[in-house]
Amino acid sequence: MFSVFKKSLLAKIILPVVGIMIFFGVIMAVFVLSLFSSYNKELVDEKVATNSATLRTYLRLSERETAIAATSMSRSPLVIDAIKNRSREDIAKAFQTAVDTFGISYFTIADPKGDVFFRTYSPDSYGDSILNQKNISDAIAGKFPTYFERGTLVKVSTRSGRPVYGADGNLLGVISAGVRHDRDVDMQKLKTLVNGEVAVFLGETRIATTPSRDAIAIFDTRLKPSLVNTLLHEKRDTIDDVEVDGEKYKVYYLPLIDPRGEAFAVISIATPLGPVLASSHKIVGLGITHFSIALLCVLVATYFFVANACKPIEGLATTLAAVSDGDLSVTAPHTKEGEVGDVVVSASNHLAKTVDIIKKLTEEIIIMIAEHERGSTGYRLNSKLFHGDFRLLAINILQLSEAGIRDKLTGMPNRRNFDNKLAIEWNTALKEKISLCLMMIDIDNFRNYNDDYGHQQGDEALRAVAEFLMGYAKPERRLFLGRWGGEEFVALLPNSTADSAMEIAEEIRIGIEKLKIHSSDSQAEKLTVSIGLSSTVPSASGSINRLIVDADIALALAKKSGRNRVEVG
């Protein structure tokens, strides 16, 4: 009886299959646990990286907002007259509303000697000297500085100083615009942008925290001694692990460097790890449960399938052949003809062909991603290499990649695509020591146009301007264009002088004017554009943000000077 059993189908096939599947199931479970451990770390690192990037973006925006606010107010005739007449009442009227208008924290006005004449956040506090603040002393010297800096009353803030000149060219005073980082309310604003708790340290001492018990528990009153050297002496950002009442956090610390090169303050974001780990553990548990159920189902199905092994599986080869040709909807036919061995060999051959197709599709995707990361958007995945559902998959991937780098309305490179290109060209110019020019192109009075003709007509106007710009950007001009947002476009000119960039900007301005897009402005017969131009030769101490801010300032000057013109920052 036993010898008969050994020769039976169950002894020869089912039991070995069961043993092998259990063995590989255990190995797979160990592998999955290891994989999820690595996944957890990557997920945590990604959240911390996202929060650190958000913090840096928040600080860059504060620099831009203060620069725009200080520049705009320093050129206002009403402000110039008020400062010239030393009228605190007129200054108060002009600047209190300007704080909300520009989305900043405060303004400080000082005379040419650096003595405070008016503070928006403390109108009764004046007469003291703030000449020791670098943004003030630089502005008195005729410069246009923007710094992270410590002040007399405001301990930590982003500050932009601008000189105020009279009609005769004499210095009347200095305007300093600032965004505060030293109060709980300021940190609460930042907390709405990040997934975590925020704190600010002045030197080693904490001065502001997002108002919650956990935040206070996470951040000690003083920086850890182990972090002081890295943050304040070496001036490097760092990450630290903190545990409070069993809750784990990853804390990112970023030192703020003042204009004298000293790290005088630190901003930190604590990312809670509990939600991340809980979600991951839930996924692992579900994965193990589903795998166990699937394994049981497979074992039962295998038993009945192999127990009836007299039925050959020739239909499987036909199914795999159809799949390799791109038809993923086929089902295996039922048949009793053929030999199991021949069918397995045939199925293996077709499976190899399918794998080759998938490899080719993967290679095309990798090449396309690499080209896009280099700033080249001309490479397209060749969908003609594939057939059936594989071709449809390739077409969908191509459409998805195009949606990620193109503006949906105009078809131009979008903001993310342009930022990648700008970073690449900046590094190239830095390495080769060549110039880099940037243009900010803004349609004049576009809000009125939308109000008068409707958003659909406004979209048509945007497409018309974009079509002209893309037609103008011939390969020999080496001009990279993109949509910056709203009615604003941007152009990058690598290895171009300011004079040649000015000529191109004028050609663009005149060309768009000649489009004769009807305008709602009673003072103009057609839509026009104002262009702000900035140019620099990148250096190790320079920044892309400075190039953008200069172009923005030049654009604001073009708008203020009457629109439909080009100004150089």
Q: Report whether pLDDT(400) > 70.
A: no
pTM score of the predicted model: 0.48
Which sign does the torsion angle of CA 282, 288, 293, 297 carry?
Answer: positive
The three-class DSSP label of residue 125 is coil
Nearest partner of 171 among 180, 181, 161, 186, judged by Cα: 161
pLDDT at 42: 84
Nearest partner of 480 among 533, 549, 412, judged by Cα: 412
Q: Report whether pLDDT(544) > 90.
A: yes
Q: Report whether pLDDT(36) > 60.
A: no
Question: Other CB atoms closer than 10 Å to residue 88's CB: what's the count?
Answer: 14
More confident of the two residues 340 and 193:
193
Nearest partner of 180 among 207, 157, 209, 151, judged by Cα: 157
Asked if residue 82 lies in contact with residue 91, where contact means CB atoms within 8 angstroms, the answer is yes
**The one-letter amino acid at 422:** L
Name, in order, each residue with C-beta under 8 angstroms of 251's C-beta and a sequence gap of 6 or more.
218, 219, 239, 240, 241, 242, 268, 269, 270, 271
Strand ranges inside 224-352, DSSP E:
238-244, 247-257, 263-272
Q: Report whether pLDDT(417) > 90.
A: no
**The one-letter amino acid at 319:** T
Q: Is 100 exposed, middle or buried (0-12, 13-18, 19+ CB in 10 A)?
A: exposed
The three-class DSSP label of residue 386 is coil
Nearest partner of 177 among 105, 111, 100, judged by Cα: 105
Q: Report whether pLDDT(313) > 80.
A: no
**pLDDT band at residue 347 under the 50/70/90 scheme:** low
Question: Other CB atoms closer than 10 Å to residue 416's CB: what's the count?
Answer: 12
pLDDT, tens digit, 9 for 90 and up, residues 371-397 = 555 545 555 566 677 778 777 666 666
Our CA dihedral for 369, 372, 373, 374, rounded to 10 degrees, sits at 130
Q: Report whether pLDDT(45) > 60.
A: yes
Write out the two tokens for 509: 């301005």
**pLDDT band at residue 5 under the 50/70/90 scheme:** very low
CA 272 to chain centre: 22
Q: Report whether pLDDT(92) > 80.
A: yes
**Cα 545 to Cα 61: distance, rounded to the nearest angstrom:** 9
Which DSSP helix (H) or strand (E) runs through 501? helix 498-513
The three-class DSSP label of residue 279 is helix
Q: What is the mean pLDDT of the chain?
A: 82
CA 449 to chain centre: 30
**pLDDT band at residue 6 under the 50/70/90 scheme:** very low
pLDDT, tens digit, 9 for 90 and up, residues 315-337 = 555 665 665 666 656 565 555 55
Strand ranges inside 372-503, DSSP E:
436-443, 480-485, 488-494
**pLDDT band at residue 113 under the 50/70/90 scheme:** very high
Asked if residue 560 lies in contact with residue 75, where contact means CB atoms within 8 angstroms, the answer is yes
Q: Report whether pLDDT(297) > 70.
A: no
pLDDT > 90: percent of the chain:
52
**pLDDT band at residue 564 under the 50/70/90 scheme:** very high
Asked if residue 343 lies in contact with residue 314, where contact means CB atoms within 8 angstroms, the answer is yes
**The one-letter amino acid at 339:** E
pLDDT, tens digit, 9 for 90 and up, residues 156-210 = 999 999 999 999 999 999 999 999 999 999 999 899 998 889 999 999 999 999 9
CA 334 to chain centre: 54
